[in-house]
């Protein structure tokens, strides 16, 4: 194991030598990505979405690094995540996307958090609390322009200006969310912008927010007053049809616990789903689906076949998985790596280099978002940068 250099700070929970995988998280790249997005956002404020433990990177590390870069506004999904963000960002504005759960208003007030209100019931509960407290506590209103998931309908949104409640709380933000902004030519983008524009222009004094990561890169730049990137901050490609303008933030190294030869006509792993047509060399890694590496990346077929399955970079060479991903182990076909270049205890790259989060997601039949947000709790975490 290489010694930690002075710019690396480990959380220390799990020593690297004892962990099946080491997750390297580059907080300087995270900050650089935030600045890149800010430069694309024009005059709009650039917030940061740090839900799901900052897309797996660690909310207690990511939020201070982003604050240091200049970020002042954060979005999470859950109240519990907001309380964690508040603990490391005492001055920040923090919104909770998943709405106001009944009876939680006092907790919002106690921690100076803002709910994103998505129905008249939620608005009424927040207004009732504000009246009882004689305070105009701030909140956002979410208008659904096509997702059909969370938020007031556009019709309801258009009635807001004539309803009394808006006077009784601090309506700090009007927002909506794109359905497919990563498909820049999808006509739904323009339809959503038009629907949002109608509600926004009926409430011209309230700051508005629409784009997620990909929305920031749409040609007509519907930035409004605030943009809400998540995925791109963590290195995901917000423009899948073009090169990725973001820097990678996450690198995952898995450890080889054993190397073995499998004889011709023998199978590897549970249910014997991968067949060695001739003698093959297998490296077994101490990482599995219990670490959040998707079982759907299993390699089912025959040796030498090009399979859409997980890959590892072994001594710089890309090697396909062999067989089903187990709970705690992954088997990789390393036959093509010269024998002397790979040994027990070596680490191989599971995320990093050509194995971007987007590519790892694709090979597992999912999206990079799911790869990031499932990053496991058993990895040693090594953070780089983020201070000064
Ligand atoms: C998750 C989320 C975002 C961030 O989306 P990315 O695609 O990760 O940039 C923004 N707004 C809302 C409402 C979200 O739920």
CATH class of 27-234: alpha beta
Partners of 45 in the β-ladder: 226
Burial of 134 (0-12, 13-18, 19+ CB in 10 A): exposed
Ligand 1 atom nearest the C-alpha of 182 is 7
Kindly state the DSSP code that residue 163 receives in the 8-state scheme: S
Pairing of strands 8-10, 226-227: unpaired
Q: Ligand 1 in contact with 212 (CB < 6 A)?
A: yes
Best residue among 50, 53, 75, 141 to mutate for probing ligand 1's pocket (most ligand atoms within 8 Å of CB) is 75
Domain ranges in the chain? 27-234, 250-384
327 is in an annotated binding site: yes
Ligand 1 centroid vs 375 CA: distance in angstroms? 18
Catalytic center residues: 51, 270
311 is in an annotated binding site: no
Pairing of strands 48-49, 73-76: parallel
The fourth-level CATH superfamily of domain 250-384 is: Lyase, Ornithine Decarboxylase; Chain A, domain 1 (2.40.37.10)
Ligand 1 centroid vs 59 CA: distance in angstroms? 16
pLDDT at 12: 55
Residue 172: how many CB atoms within 10 A of its CB? 17
Residue nearest ligand 1's atom 3 by CA: 212
pLDDT at 6: 37
**Residue-level pLDDT, tens digit, the chain, 388 residues:** 344 433 444 555 788 888 999 999 999 999 999 999 999 999 999 999 999 999 999 999 999 999 999 999 999 999 999 999 999 999 999 999 999 999 999 999 999 999 999 999 999 999 999 999 999 999 999 999 999 999 999 999 999 999 888 888 988 999 999 999 999 999 999 999 999 999 999 999 999 999 999 999 998 777 799 999 999 999 999 999 999 999 999 999 999 999 999 999 999 999 999 999 999 999 999 999 999 999 999 999 999 999 999 999 999 999 999 999 999 999 999 999 999 999 999 999 999 999 999 999 999 999 999 999 999 999 999 999 986 4
Q: To 10 degrees, what angle do helices 59-69 and 27-40 make?
A: 50
Terminal Cα-to-Cα distance of the chain (whole angstroms) = 27
Q: Could you tell me which of 137, 20, 55, 29 has the C-alpha nearest to residue 372? A: 55
Partners of 260 in the β-ladder: 282
CA distance 199 to 221: 18
Ligand 1 centroid vs 86 CA: distance in angstroms? 19
Q: Could you tell me which of 234, 179, 231 has the C-alpha nearest to residue 27? A: 234
Residue nearest ligand 1's atom 10 by CA: 212
Best residue among 48, 212, 240 to mutate for probing ligand 1's pocket (most ligand atoms within 8 Å of CB) is 212
Pairing of strands 21-26, 380-384: parallel
Helix/strand/coil (H/E/C) assignment for every residue in 338-355: CHHHCCCCCEEEEEECCE
Q: Output the pTM of the full model.
A: 0.95
Q: Ligand 1 in contact with 73 (CB < 6 A)?
A: no
Ligand 1 centroid vs 212 CA: distance in angstroms? 5
**Vertex 349: Cα angle to 345 and 350 (nearest 5):** 115
Ligand 1 atom nearest the C-alpha of 116 is 13
């Amino acid at each position: 194991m290489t010694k930690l250099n002075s710019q690396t700070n480990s959380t220390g929970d799990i020593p690297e030598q004892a962990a099946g995988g080491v997750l390297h998280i580059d907080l300087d790249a995270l900050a650089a990505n935030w600045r890149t997005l800010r430069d694309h956002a024009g005059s709009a404020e650039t917030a940061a979405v740090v839900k799901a433990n900052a897309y797996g990177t660690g909310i207690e590390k990511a939020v201070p690094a982003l604050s240091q870069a200049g970020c002042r506004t954060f979005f999470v999904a859950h109240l519990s995540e907001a309380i964690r963000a508040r603990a490391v960002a005492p001055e920040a504005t923090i919104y909770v996307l998943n709405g106001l759960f009944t009876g939680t208003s006092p907790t919002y007030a106690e921690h100076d958090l803002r709910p994103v209100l998505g129905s008249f019931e939620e608005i009424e509960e927040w207004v009732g609390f504000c009246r009882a407290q004689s305070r105009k506590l701030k909140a956002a209103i979410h208008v659904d322009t096509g997702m059909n998931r969370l938020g007031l309908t556009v019709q309801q949104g258009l009635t807001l200006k004539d309803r009394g409640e808006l006077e009784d709380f601090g309506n700090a933000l009007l927002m909506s969310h794109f359905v497919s902004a990563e498909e820049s030519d999808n006509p739904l983008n323009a339809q959503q912008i038009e629907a949002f524009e109608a509600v926004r222009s009926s409430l011209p004094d309230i700051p508005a927010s629409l784009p997620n990561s990909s929305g920031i890169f749409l040609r007509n730049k519907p930035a409004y007053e605030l943009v809400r990137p998540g995925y791109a901050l963590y290195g995901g490609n917000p423009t899948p049809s073009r090169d990725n303008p973001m820097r990678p933030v996450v690198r995952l190294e898995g450890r080889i616990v054993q190397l073995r030869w499998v004889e011709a006509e023998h199978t590897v792993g549970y249910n014997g789903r991968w067949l060695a047509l001739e003698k093959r060399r297998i490296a077994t890694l101490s990482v599995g689906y219990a670490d959040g590496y998707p079982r759907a990346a299993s390699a089912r077929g025959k040796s030498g076949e090009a399979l859409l399955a997980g890959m590892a970079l072994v001594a710089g060479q890309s090697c396909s998985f062999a067989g089903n991903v187990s709970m705690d182990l992954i088997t990789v076909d390393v036959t093509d790596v010269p024998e002397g270049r790979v040994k027990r205890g070596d680490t191989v790259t599971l995320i990093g280099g050509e194995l971007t989060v987007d590519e790892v997601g694709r090979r597992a039949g999912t999206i990079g978002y799911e790869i990031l947000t499932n990053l496991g709790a058993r990895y040693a975490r090594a953070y780089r940068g983020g201070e000064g």
